[in-house]
Structure 1
């Protein structure tokens, strides 16, 4: 395998840390390695313990490395959360070439001009996504390179985040011995994998239900126009089961994964299981219907909150409906519950690659597709050769601000 054709994504979630290795071969993506580990030190998608999170990342990386037989050096890291904000911006520059042909340097300058916005001291620019370019007033241009013009403009979306959250994320990745090739907004990455071009154009809501939170992303006219996070997810269903059955949380999680059903009418009375109750050594028998009576109200609440949040963002009836993804949507009956509560067309997005055909891998695979697409469009190699990790303290400190600054110039 050629190291120059490898992209590695790192998805740090509330329940799992996932590392996915993708090989780019003549423009096609092959998933060649997957590593996962239980998340420790993460609560509601936020890092609460640096050392535990570092250990989880190392475990997931080691798992992926053993599968493929390479040492991972550079990773693209997904970032999401309620701290993420979007704001529109514009940039204008004069074309610098004497022959007035627009080149890559002009695009970089106009994007830098669009990034000159006033921000509170506690916030930082994560990335910039161009919506369209204008050449001498002509709009609707997606790639102006090679065109002739005097004035180049861009209408873009600036992605900002809380400095403390960004710096903590960077710190855990670098302490795990990895180099950050770039920070990728997870809604953009998941949208790259889960949504078709038509769905992005006509208006669609992407709902990523994870363990600790539910991320809502609205796409319209081909662009990400709004994003929000609801601090409720699969963990809350597990907690309800733990309380309802009076059993330990780890037992409740296993029961949910094996027997869980999102709606009562789809549950089977003859599907029975036993759990050990807290405070005694005795086991008590329950049916899948008993379990569904606990799960359905919480699932319904999640989708009611999603619908209310989409309305609050200013989008009520979008033709593309809702696309569900994330680890928590694998449960039987989730689709039925979603259609009932959202009163719209709903489908579940699953990556179509061997080894990652599960909604929980949508974000990680999406990062690889997103990087591959934009790296190819710029005519640059996706990542550097994967090799031995950095080990010196000086090298570990070197990285984020310069690498992300350069990445923003070279990547978007």
Structure 2
């Protein structure tokens, strides 16, 4: 990686599409631009309308471009969903150098060997995450480069996904006239930003509660151990408010963002607001306590489902804490309610960068950190703004080359 690189992350969520531009200077990251657009064509984290999703991506990218004055060509895209699967695999190679010093070629070959795994025809490898390397039987090595040995092994977690979901995601980004530099599993990206090394070792649940879905990632022994997605999120809270106050969903969302409180005990009786009810042109007044009485049961249910899912995955007694992130955890009272429902230590992860200090940006910032640490950068994700349209530049990329790149995109993991 050169001393000064641009990385652009694309987080395609149910309520928002966010493009974040990060500048990596000598290993440190600065967030220099953020673009956000309302998400159309996404339901519960899955793409249901290609054209609407493409337009949302374009809007977010253009917003980020205007902020920084550059043209974005390459992006790293986050992926999540219930189709994601994890399996452990082992790779073994003989060290090729005559002096038995392990080089980058050997590490590359052993990672490729770990990718050789029997998969159903409808699934594809997304990520390869090395847990540890072994040199002549010596365990616990994180980077074997430069060591002396005859036999190099790797224990790795192979992250797979449904081809349909991956290819639809690729199609949307391509139709928005962008090139995909790599696809990153959101749980890995969020974990990179949100969790400390000790939290990953001791067993921690990272719950990313978005608008349409909640992604649960369990880290244990230093790496991602299990992941699952629940089709429930902040949209359900908005829907409850809409029914409870008999108002339109659009108004319910604004009320939730402005006056929402997750615990009745934290709500203020003197905090009042008026709502235009459906089928009427008369406004009715409500208090924050009325609103909290609608929100609290749904948020309790979300945390109860998270706890049940962690138990179903077999980690009920092995978890030492929960870390919450995602747009839906910004509401006042969420932390106290989560601690009560999950009966464990809980904290909320927020990116520590100017302009993105909000749990909703955790995944997007996490992708930038993950890429800068593990994947290297093939090409700058942005270029100075030119008068020529982006379509002309994008037309030079050939599709077969892209698919090949996607299949082998984690060749530069170490």
Contact 1:73 1:390 in 2 (8 A): no
Aligned residue in 2 for 1:208: 208
Aligned residue in 2 for 1:275: 275
Contact 1:3 1:384 in 2 (8 A): no
Aligned residue in 1 for 2:322: 322
- What do the CA deviations read for 1:311-340 (whole angstroms, capped 9, x no partner)? 111112346400000000000011111001
Matches within 5 A, 1:379-394: 380-381=376-377, 383-384=379-380, 386-387=382-383, 389=390, 391=392, 393=395
Matches within 5 A, 1:27-46: 27-46=27-46
Q: For 1:5, what is the secondary structure of its paired residue?
A: strand
Matches within 5 A, 1:354-369: 354-369=354-369
Q: For 1:92, what is the secondary structure of its paired residue?
A: strand
Aligned residue in 2 for 1:63: 63
Contact 2:72 2:381 in 1 (8 A): no
Contact 1:371 1:382 in 2 (8 A): no
Change in Cα spacing, 1:79 to 1:202, as seen in structure 2 (3 Å) is same
For 1:131 and 1:185, the matched residues in 2 are separated by 16
Contact 1:130 1:155 in 2 (8 A): yes
For 1:61 and 1:411, the matched residues in 2 are separated by 27
Q: For 1:407, what is the secondary structure of its paired residue?
A: coil
Aligned residue in 2 for 1:299: 299
Aligned residue in 2 for 1:402: 404
In the alignment, does 2:14 pair up with 1:14? yes
- What do the CA deviations read for 1:254-283 (whole angstroms, capped 9, x no partner)? 000001010110111111111111111111
Contact 1:390 1:396 in 2 (8 A): no
In structure 1, stretches of 5+ residues that fail to align are none
For 2:203 and 2:90, the matched residues in 1 are separated by 23
Matches within 5 A, 1:6-405: 6-318=6-318, 320-375=320-375, 380-381=376-377, 383-384=379-380, 386-387=382-383, 389=390, 391=392, 393=395, 395=397, 397-405=399-407
Shift of 1:400: 3.0
Contact 1:209 1:328 in 2 (8 A): yes
Change in Cα spacing, 1:382 to 1:367, as seen in structure 2 (3 Å) is farther
Shift of 1:3: 10
Contact 1:87 1:158 in 2 (8 A): yes
Shift of 1:394: 6.2
Judge which range, 93-102 or 232-241, deviates more.
93-102
Shift of 1:202: 1.0
Shift of 1:406: 4.1
TM-score, normalised on structure 1? 0.96
Shift of 1:121: 1.0
Root mean square deviation of aligned Cα: 1.5
TM-score, normalised on structure 2? 0.95
Size of the aligned set, in residue pairs, is 407
In structure 2, stretches of 5+ residues that fail to align are none
Shift of 1:221: 1.2
Contact 2:374 2:412 in 1 (8 A): no
Contact 1:175 1:396 in 2 (8 A): no
